[in-house]
Amino acid sequence: MTYVSGELAAGLADMARNLLTQESVQGTLDQIVAHAVDLVDGCEDAGVLVIEGNEGVRTIAGHSALVRASDKLQQELGEGPCFDVTRRAQVVYRIHDITSTAGRWRRFAPRAQELGIGSIMGFCLYTEDDNLGALNMYSSQPGAFTEASEQVGWLLASHAAVAFSSARSHAQLTSAIETRNVIGQAMGILMERYKVSESEAFVIVKKSSQNTNTRLRDVARTIAETGEIPGSRIG
């Protein structure tokens, strides 16, 4: 059983409250990496990456330039801890000393050392379709992450995963509502201007989207803002 000190418990509680007050997914991500540096012993830098499909590594939050450099290096070389997480379905990994992984990551290990990385620890944040997200923590010193660090990191990652998922769901819902509203505005303008029915107005918006190879939402926004139908000679 993991013992959590009063100070750490207070820190985790503060983090949970802070994450829930963020107004955007990016804000949530930025706070996750900031709290990782504050709460996990040995953590000097932290970042969140996603692996899109089989090979695409993308940094979506980083505490420093080192984080982005490490993610970019893994993308360039096609090897490193983030790929191992994907291929081996790992939930957590802890690299005691980056120099000891030269046999495992022949190209990544020496170049990671050149970046100033001594040890790494990471946690899976979420999976969706073919995409995987991970919270990674870095130290310039070998052996910086202990079993206690891993336990605290796991607690933080668990909180972060819930907050991140909630933020993404909220953003998707907000986007869906905004899309519905702007399409409704565009249809209303078309119905009034051209004396067409609701279904006919929607067909006009849909055809414009197809003819211009533009998202339905963007076509509707143009109509709502300008009254013009992209790619159409109506009027």
Does residue 135 share a domain with residue 46? yes
SS3 category, 34: helix
Report residue 227 as tokens. 């009254």
More confident residue, 162 or 139: 139
Residue 37 in this model has a pLDDT that exceeds 70: yes
Q: In what order do the strands lie in the sheet with 119-128?
A: 56-62, 45-52, 131-139, 119-128, 92-95
Query: What's the structural domain count of the chain?
Result: 2
Helix and strand totals (H; E) in the chain: 8, 5
pLDDT digits (tens, 9 = 90+) for 87-143: 666 678 899 999 988 788 889 999 999 999 999 998 887 655 545 678 899 999 999
In Å, how far are 28, 77, 124, 233 from 91, measured between CA atoms?
21, 22, 5, 56
Supply the pLDDT for residue 13. 79
Does residue 153 share a domain with residue 121? yes
Which domain-ending residue is among 146, 169, 192?
Answer: 169
In a domain, 154, yes or no: yes
Are residues 188 and 205 in contact, defined by beta-carbon separation less than 8 angstroms?
no
Q: What's the whole-model pTM score?
A: 0.67
In a domain, 57, yes or no: yes
Does residue 182 share a domain with residue 118? no
Does residue 156 share a domain with residue 70? yes
Does residue 144 share a domain with residue 129? yes
Are residues 143 and 182 in contact, defined by beta-carbon separation less than 8 angstroms?
no
Residue 2 in this model has a pLDDT that exceeds 70: no
Kindly tell me the burial class for residue 101, based on how many C-beta atoms sit within 10 Å of its own C-beta (0-12, 13-18, 19 or more): buried
In a domain, 158, yes or no: yes
Supply the pLDDT for residue 168. 62
In this structure, what CATH number is given to the domain that contains residue 204? 1.10.10.10
Kindly give the residue spans of alpha helices, DSSP state H, lying in 89-146: 108-115
Does residue 103 share a domain with residue 191? no
Does residue 84 share a domain with residue 137? yes
Supply the pLDDT for residue 115. 94
pLDDT digits (tens, 9 = 90+) for 65-94: 999 999 999 989 988 888 776 566 667 889
Kindly tell me the burial class for residue 45, based on how many C-beta atoms sit within 10 Å of its own C-beta (0-12, 13-18, 19 or more): buried
Q: What is the mean pLDDT of the chain?
A: 82
Does residue 76 share a domain with residue 22? yes
Which domain-ending residue is among 151, 169, 187?
Answer: 169
In a domain, 235, yes or no: no
Phi-psi region of 133 (alpha: psi -120 to 50; beta: other; left: phi over 0): beta
Does residue 186 share a domain with residue 204? yes
Supply the pLDDT for residue 96. 92
More confident residue, 1 or 173: 173
3-state helix, strand, coil in the chain (%, to 5): 60, 15, 25
Residue 33 in this model has a pLDDT that exceeds 80: yes
In a domain, 231, yes or no: no
In a domain, 232, yes or no: no
In a domain, 234, yes or no: no
**Which pLDDT band, with edges at 50, 70 and 90, does 169 fall under?**
low
In a domain, 233, yes or no: no
More confident residue, 168 or 35: 35
The residue segments making up the domain with residue 138 are: 6-169
Residue 206 in this model has a pLDDT that exceeds 60: yes
Does residue 164 share a domain with residue 177? no
Does residue 181 share a domain with residue 165? no
Which domain-ending residue is among 141, 169, 197?
Answer: 169
Does residue 130 share a domain with residue 47? yes
Q: What are phi and psi of 103, to 5 degrees?
A: -75, -30
The structure tokens 């997200």 sit at 133
In this structure, what CATH number is given to the domain that contains residue 92? 3.30.450.40
Are residues 161 and 125 in contact, defined by beta-carbon separation less than 8 angstroms?
yes
Average pLDDT rounded to a whole number, residues 21-49: 88
pLDDT digits (tens, 9 = 90+) for 220-232: 888 888 888 887 7
Report residue 66 as tokens. 């080192």
Residue 1 in this model has a pLDDT that exceeds 50: no
